Amino acid sequence: MTSFTSGSRKKQVRFQTKDDLVLLREVLAKNPFQNKSAWNEIASAVADTRSNLQVDARRVRERTHLLIDQHKKSNADSLKSSGIDEEYGEKETLLDEILSLVEDEEKQKEKQKEKKETEENRGKDIRKRAMENLTPKKDTYFLSYNMTYLCSV
pLDDT tens digits, one per residue of 47-61: 888 877 888 899 999
Q: What is the pLDDT of residue 66?
A: 94
* pLDDT for position 134: 75
Is residue 7 one of the residues assigned to a domain?
no
| Short-list 129, 132, 53, CA closest to 20 | 53
Residue 140 CA to residue 100 CA, distance in Å, equals 60
Residue 15 has φ and ψ, to the nearest 5°, of: -80, 135
Per the domain annotation, does 3 fall within a domain? no
What is the structure's pLDDT at 8? 63
Q: Which amino acid is at 26?
A: E
Q: How many domains is the chain built from?
A: 1
What's the pLDDT score for residue 125? 87
| 54 within some domain | yes
In a domain, 66, yes or no: yes
Residue 129 inside a domain? The answer is yes
pTM of the model: 0.63
Within a domain: 4: no
Domain around 117: 17-78+89-152
User: Is residue 98 assigned to a domain?
Assistant: yes
Has residue 10 been placed in a domain? no
Q: What is the pLDDT of residue 61?
A: 93
**Low-confidence residues in the chain, pLDDT < 70:** 1-9, 79-88, 135-153
Cα–Cα distance measured from residue 102 to residue 120, given in angstroms and rounded to the nearest whole number: 27
Contacts 24+ apart (CB under 8 A), 46-50: 46/19, 46/22, 49/18, 49/19, 49/22, 50/16, 50/19
Check residue 1 and give its pLDDT.
Answer: 45
